[in-house]
């Protein structure tokens, strides 16, 4: 059933085999076996594409429910908890420290293992079972992983310490030169990039400035430049050349807990609770 679900998500036997880490003939054999047992054809295969039959669409939904139920049985049975692999960005935060403690002291204690990966790789690793959950800032929709909002945090303005607006306790976007806004390229963190653009009154006029390190360096060197970053992300950074100031009025960014579609609901809720305010 797991093989069939993977093929249905990929619509490609080769990619499904890579996700499952088996050879392609094994995937074909297992799917064919499931079709024989059920007495229906689940997939239409041609040399060019793979697609679900109407019966396959129905069986896909039921298979996901069955796999989640099987995982839930293992939880209820008290199966010893494995190390909880969490995909994160490189910076450490108080929220992350607190969540690790909550997970360790919860009803089913688990030891967290933090894995630093780029956003796209984080999501793929959850989908492929290489991570148990991941944290992703910004809006995210996916048919291959489950996404649940966990917390919201304010965006802060980041600028050079000798910037003309640096002495203020809060800064409005109207107080800043819109031509000076610099953002990392979208491919470095698509959900966060899109979320920041969504709260801006107008899109930034200049092209993206590479990765976050390049953006911060440019901001620190040029008094016309500034950027926007989540407050908790900034809490893990220190620079003598930069400071961050709250926005007035505040603008917030949501962070999602991303889990496998097969993760039992009680586990998913426990992960969200661990990171929530």
Global pTM? 0.68
Report pLDDT for 201.
77
Residue 18 has pLDDT above 70, yes or no: yes
Name the band, by pLDDT with cuts 50, 70 and 90, for residue 89: confident
Choices 3.40.50.1370, 3.40.50.300, 3.40.190.290, 1.10.150.80: CATH for 83-277 = 3.40.190.290
150: closest CA among 276, 263, 271? 276
Q: What is the pLDDT of residues 106-118, one digit of tens each?
A: 777 788 888 888 8
Q: What is the pLDDT of residues 145-161, one digit of tens each?
A: 999 999 999 999 999 98
Those residues whose C-beta lies under 8 Å from the C-beta of residue 59, and which sit 6 or more positions away, are 4, 38, 40, 42
Name the band, by pLDDT with cuts 50, 70 and 90, for residue 256: very high
3-12, 100-109, 262-271: range with lowest mean pLDDT: 100-109
CATH no. for 2-76 = 1.10.10.10
119-133, 148-162, 166-180, 232-246: range with lowest mean pLDDT: 232-246
Q: Residue 177 has which token pair?
A: 């030169």
By three-state DSSP, how is residue 45 classified? strand
For the chain, the average pLDDT equals 86
Name the band, by pLDDT with cuts 50, 70 and 90, for residue 275: very high
Q: Tell me the domain boundaries of the chain.
A: 2-76, 83-277
- Chain CA centroid to CA 242, Å: 27
CA pair distance 211, 189, nearest whole angstrom? 9
CA pair distance 269, 114, nearest whole angstrom? 19
Residue 218 has pLDDT above 80, yes or no: yes
Strand partners, 255: 137, 151
């Amino acid at each position: 059933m797991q093989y069939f679900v993977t093929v249905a998500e990929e619509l490609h036997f080769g990619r499904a085999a890579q996700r499952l880490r088996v050879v392609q003939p094994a995937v074909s054999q297992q799917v064919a076996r499931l079709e024989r047992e059920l007495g229906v054809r689940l997939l239409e295969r041609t040399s060019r594409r793979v697609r679900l039959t109407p019966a396959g669409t129905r069986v896909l939904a039921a298979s996901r429910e069955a796999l989640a139920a099987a995982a839930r049985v293992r939880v209820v049975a008290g199966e010893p908890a494995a190390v909880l692999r969490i995909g994160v960005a490189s910076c450490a935060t108080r929220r992350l420290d607190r969540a690790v403690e909550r997970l360790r002291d919860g009803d089913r204690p688990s030891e967290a293992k933090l894995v630093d990966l780029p956003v796209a790789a984080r999501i793929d690793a959850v989908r492929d079972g290489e991570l148990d959950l991941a944290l992703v800032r910004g809006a995210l929709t996916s048919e291959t992983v489950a996404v649940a909002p966990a917390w919201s945090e304010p965006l802060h303005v980041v600028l050079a310490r000798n910037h003309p607006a640096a002495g203020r306790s809060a800064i409005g976007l109207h107080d800043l030169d819109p031509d000076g806004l610099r953002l990392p390229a979208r491919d470095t963190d698509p959900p966060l990039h899109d979320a920041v653009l969504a709260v801006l009154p107008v899109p930034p006029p200049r092209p993206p400035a590479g990765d976050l390190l390049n953006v911060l360096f440019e901001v620190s060197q040029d008094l016309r430049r500034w950027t926007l970053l989540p407050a908790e992300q900034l809490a893990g950074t220190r620079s003598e050349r930069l400071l961050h100031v709250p926005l007035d009025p505040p603008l917030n960014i949501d962070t999602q807990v991303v889990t496998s579609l097969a993760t039992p609901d009680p586990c998913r809720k426990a992960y969200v609770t661990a990171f929530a305010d």
